[in-house]
Amino acid sequence: MNGFTDERFYDLVYKGERYSYLQFVRKDFICDVCYVTFKNVITGEMLTFDQTEVLGFRASGDELNAS
């Protein structure tokens, strides 16, 4: 999950739930665990995901790929 320097929106699948309209905020490493934080641009909600639990990821308009 690299290259979040543009203003694209992302979709991802995390623990069986699909999340859409996400904008990348930050990537953190805490105790050797990588967490990625996104903001839902529709609701304004901030969401943080354990990267190892992300089952699929794509930029809007791309095909959903397993990570």
In terms of phi and psi (left: phi > 0; alpha: psi -120 to 50; beta: otherwise), the region of 41 is alpha
Cβ proximity of 2 and 16 under 8 Å: no
Residue spans of the domains in the chain: they are 10-59
Q: Which two tokens stand for residue 30?
A: 């805490």
pLDDT digits (tens, 9 = 90+) for 8-59: 899 999 999 999 999 999 999 999 999 999 999 999 999 999 999 999 988 8
pLDDT, residue 27, reads 95
pLDDT, residue 13, reads 94
User: Closest by alpha carbon to 13, among 1, 65, 40, 29?
Assistant: 65
pLDDT at 65 > cutoff 90: no
Band the pLDDT of 66: cuts 50, 70, 90: low
pLDDT, residue 32, reads 93
